[in-house]
Every structure is written in C-alpha cells, then in structure tokens.
Structure 1
Amino acid sequence: MSDLGTRLREARERQGLSLTQVALDTRILQQSLVALEEGAFQRLPGDVVIRGFIRNYAQYLGLNPDEMVELYRSERGVTDPIRVVPVTKPPSTRAYVLPSFFGVFFVTIALIGMSYITLNAVGRIGDRVTPIALAAPTATVPPPSPLPTSAPTLTPLPQPTPTPRDSFIAIGDPPDELDPSETTNTVAGGVDPDPVLTPTPAAPITIELVIPNVRGNENSWVRVQTDGNTAFEGVMRAGEHLNFSAQRRVLVRAGNPPDVLVTVNGIRQGALGPNPGQPVDWPWPPN
C-alpha cells in the first residue's frame, strides 16, 4: 500500500467525502482517484498529469500539495523523461519587389487616364445642358386698361381676422399624413431642442487564461466567475488556453497561481500569484 495513497484516503474519509463527490468537485475521474489512493500509478497517464492530480487532490483535501508531490516522487523514484523536440526552421523565401512595383505603376497610370476621360465627357455634357437650364421664360405684358372717366368710389377693405399663433391655414389639398418617426420637434423661433444624450454601454471585459507548455509548469485547478456566474471550474493543463467575457466583473481563483498567466482585453497582466500551491482570488477590475 502506498503511503501517499493512504494519506489521501484517510484525509478524505475524515472529512466524510465520497469518491463520487470528490470527482465532481475536482473534475478528476473516479478511477484516477482510486488509482492515486491505491498507489497504482501505472494505471494513470503520464508523470506530469499524475503530479497535477496529486496537487489538485491535496489542495482540495487541505493537505500540503508540495509535500504530497515530493512523497510521490520518493515512492515512484524515476519519473517519465521529457522529450525535447527540435524546432524546424521554415525555409526562407525571397520576395520579388520589382514585378509588384511595375504592376502598381501601370495600374496607377490606367486609373489616371480613365479619370481624365471621364471628367472631359462630363464637362462636354454640362456645356450643352447649362444654356437650356439658364434660359428664362419671356413675360407677356397685358395692354393698359382705359382710364376711368369718373372718380372711383373708395370702398373700405375688410380687416383681416387675426389668427392664433399656433394655428395653420390649409391651402389646397391637405398634406400627407406625416410619419411620427420622420418629424422633428422644434421650439419657438425655429431652434431645435438640445439632443438627448443616451449613455454608451460599457465595453465588455475579455479574459484569457493560459498555462504555457514549458518545462516546470504544472496543472492548476481554476474557477472563473463572470458577472457573478460560474463560467468554468476545473483543472487547466499545461498548454491549455481558456477565454471568457463579461460586462462588469470577472473573478478568477487558481490553486497554482504562478503557472497561470492572464491577459485582459489584449493586455498581459502576468501570473495570478507568486506562491506555488497557495490559492489566490484575482478580480478584474481590481478592488
């Protein structure tokens, strides 16, 4: 029986937790939890994954994750070797600038020529249309009326009835019914009222979490809350990226904060915390 597995099992039983409940809370498969408590490490994936399981399980049970990982290393002895894959350099390609330059030059010349021809054609059409538009109609002068032989009788003109300022005089056919959406409110004197300013909604918050896939980084348990709702809770593995968005607030809790890097609205904020194995709460906007 593994000493590590015994300590994990006894800590779980002291808290009255079942393997099913632990699997739901930590997102670790129940069969993997059984293998950890039995010390059957050969039934688990790789060394990195096993250490991540042990660290998350220990944090969940309130144990020291670093102590549990060291106990695992002392029991297993040799861990899986890390393979270094050489990076292949892509073949360099030479850019030919000369043909592209000549292509742009000829296209520019063609556009200038087409613009010149179009402007000349429009000018000739305008020369023929302008005289017709400027021709004024000839006014017909009526013959003079004969002068009256007797003095005309003065008749008092009717006084116009004053109309209220806000009334309208309908002449001819009534206008079409106006669309309320097309009307504009005006105040006395023809001055438009001040426009009503509508508040601009706040820009959304975009959060990116990543554990770089480099040597030394380990998995971490992470919980993300956006606008008060839990958007994610589980184990992030090395090389994994997670993206979230919110309107007002984001709260991130991580069990292994130094390995989890955060980016807000495209600006890198660094790691969630400095101490490995010590969970932290990271809010945005900052308190």
Structure 2
Amino acid sequence: MSELGARLRQARESQGLSLAQASVDTRILQQSLIALEEGSYQLLPGDVVIRGFIRNYAQYLGLTADELIELYRRERGATDKIRVVPATNPPGSRSYVLPSFFGVFFVTVALIGMAYVALNAVGRIGDGGIASVATSEPTATVPPPSPLPSPTAGRAPAIAAAPTLPVLASAPGTPTNGPAGGVSFTATQTATSAAPIIVELRIASLRGDENSWVRVQSDGNTIYEGTMIAGQRQTFEAQRRILIRAGNPPNVIVTVNGLEQGPIGQVSGQPVNWPWPPN
C-alpha cells in the first residue's frame, strides 16, 4: 500500500466513515476510492482525473489537498510537461480593399442611366397604349383516334396509346392518377425519430472475481438475461425506456449515452431494478 493510500484510509477510518458513505458524499465511485487507498493508480483514468479525485477526497476528509497531490506526484513520478510548439508560418493578416471614390461614382452614374432608359421606355408604351396581354392556361389538343382495324384470327387487336399530357408543375411527393389523365402529387412527410437510449453495462474488475446476474428490458421486451463476469461489457439500445435488474448491484457499472452513472446499487447480493429514464 502506498503512503498516500495509507493516509487516506487512516483519515477515513478515524472518522468512522465507510467506503460506501464516502462514495455517496464525494460522488466518486467506490471502486475508485479503493484504488486510491491501495495505490492502484493503473486502474484509474488519466493523471488529471486522479488529481481531481485526490483533491476532492482530501477536502472531504479534512486533509491538505496540495500536500497529498505532491505525495502522489512523488509516488507515481513526474509527468511529461506539455510542450508548446510555435507555428511554422505566422497567420496571414486579412486585407480589406476599400472601394475607390471613382468606382462608386461610375456605378452610381450607370444606375442612374439605366433608370432613365427604363423610365423613357415606360413612357413610350404609355403614349402608344398599353397592350393587353391575354394569359390562358395551355390546353393539350388530343387528336381524334384513328379507326381501329377489325381483329383477325390469331392476332390480338391493337390498342391506341392514350395521349400524354404535359405536366406543368410538380411538387415532391408520391404521384397518383388524377382526373382527365393528369397526374397529381401527394406530399409526404417524414417523421423525425427521437435519439435512442444507448446503455453500456460493465462488470468491475478490481479483484478479478466479480460477477452478477443481469436482465435487460428494452421498451418492455427482454433483450438480455445472463451472468456477466469481471471486465465484461455489453451495450444495449432502447427508444423510450430501458430497465436493468442485477443480482449483485455494486459490481454492475452503467453508462448512459457516454455518461457514466456509477454502480446501480450499493448492497451486494440484494437485487435491484434500475430504470432509465429514472422514475
């Protein structure tokens, strides 16, 4: 056991605190507190996270956080410092070109000239009378059907092809038969489904003999039931609701959509139900 872990455990036991109570108060997983007290730093996340655990745990036990972090640094060894590499090419500065006075002047003159020509054209049309423009919808002219030849034996009668009418406008959707041989379109709407619930179950592997019976229900249907062993991971998906029942809750670590929620229970051997979303 490391000196840092011994000091943390001695401070906790002197105050009559259990690991389960400390885990609830500090919001640090019980397995992480055990790893800190045993000096098993390889079981914990990165260096920055470990320092945060030590600071929170030390403040909770009434110890000096900076002193314990320095002790952790000596036990684990100095970490590599972040080296800042200067940029090879300095970022180029943006250049703005202001329009010259002459450019603005010529553009203004051109716009005035175009407006003058347009006004003159409108005046000439007004003097000569306004031409009326008749608008009408184009209609398709269907030629009269040609007389069909009389059917002969051994030969099927020919069927005249229906005239094809042009479609003036179309809208995205599903085509259906309309009146007079036209085609109408029915707009379709695609419903956007909600984001699924992704749940990962992991069995803790601090001792190596952890296990738990697990049953998973997704949207009311049982999709998994079996015994998971130490270090095993399983991922499940649901659209509305997921329910997990475990026989050994402290060994079952649950993560929802990438966010770890911790063990689903604190008492070994006492089965619990763990729903998401919570009731």
Q: Could you tell me the TM-score, scaled by structure 2's length?
A: 0.42
The answer to which structure, 1 or 2, has the higher relative contact order (CA under 8 A, 6+ apart) is 1
Larger radius of gyration: 1
Q: Could you tell me the TM-score, scaled by structure 1's length?
A: 0.41
